[in-house]
Amino acid sequence: MSTLTKLALGAMGQLRPRPVKGDARKSIKLPAPDRKGGLPLMQALARRRSSREFARKPLPQPVLSSLLWAAFGVNRRGGGRTAPSALDAQEIDVYVALPDGAYRYDAKAHSLQLVAASDLRRVTGYQDFVDLAPLDLVYVADHRRMRMVPVAQRESYASAAAGAIAQNVYLYAASAGLVTVIRAWIDRSAIADALGLEHDQQVLLSQTVGYPKA
């Protein structure tokens, strides 16, 4: 769908997901992430960049697993994560829009929990490439977990935390031969509707990931 069509539909509150082809699975247990592989950090940093051209090729589950673990997985005893959060509130939820459904990443169980049995990739942003790239992530702040953070600071702290997660995804992508772009040009209310979010959950950013276009 073109950006202009999306803008028009968005203005009318009509930017909606597509139905999925098969049955979306309620829960997907991800394989263990590969915690050893990858490029040396300085080489991954040297390759980090945004890209907006994606092949349609799906992401294999082991790649999705490592990507989500790198993004915001549990990396130590006690439940610590791969990205920081103020007062360790861990307020960001990573939502995963795939062709066969939209899921919330459960870091503790390293699994995906179905939130919408629809293909809502096209709802995750105004740019056309988001519709067909194999994966769009959405970073959502759950304000209920930030009760210890002063109200005036909650949004900026959550945005900083989401930015750290996004950079983890950039570095994993650079390391694994994937391409990605973080995006703020999104219709937050359309995304919130499609994901069935509650009042205290705030859509912050989206990020597309996939293989580079040949």
Ligand X SMILES: Cc1cc2nc3c(=O)[nH]c(=O)nc-3n(C[C@H](O)[C@H](O)[C@H](O)COP(=O)(O)O)c2cc1C
Residues engaged in binding ligand X (CB under 6 A):
49-50, 52, 127, 181-185
Q: Between 89 and 133, whose beta carbon lies closer to ligand X?
A: 133
- Residue 23 CB, nearest approach to ligand X (Å): 32
- Residue 186 CB, nearest approach to ligand X (Å): 7
> Which segments of the chain are extended strands (E)?
18-19, 27-29, 92-98, 101-106, 111-116, 118-119, 135-142, 179-183, 201-210
Tell me which DSSP letter residue 150 carries.
Answer: -
The C-alpha angle 73, 76, 82, rounded to 5 degrees, equals 35
Q: Between 56 and 185, whose beta carbon lies closer to ligand X?
A: 185
Q: Between 118 and 124, whose beta carbon lies closer to ligand X?
A: 124
- Residue 129 CB, nearest approach to ligand X (Å): 9
Contact 39, 47 (CB under 8 A): yes
- Residue 182 CB, nearest approach to ligand X (Å): 5
Q: Between 13 and 185, whose beta carbon lies closer to ligand X?
A: 185
What DSSP string describes 15-65? Answer: --PEEPSSPPPSEEEPPPP-SS-S--HHHHHHH------B--PPPPHHHHH
Contact 54, 212 (CB under 8 A): yes
- Residue 27 CB, nearest approach to ligand X (Å): 31
Q: Between 122 and 183, whose beta carbon lies closer to ligand X?
A: 183
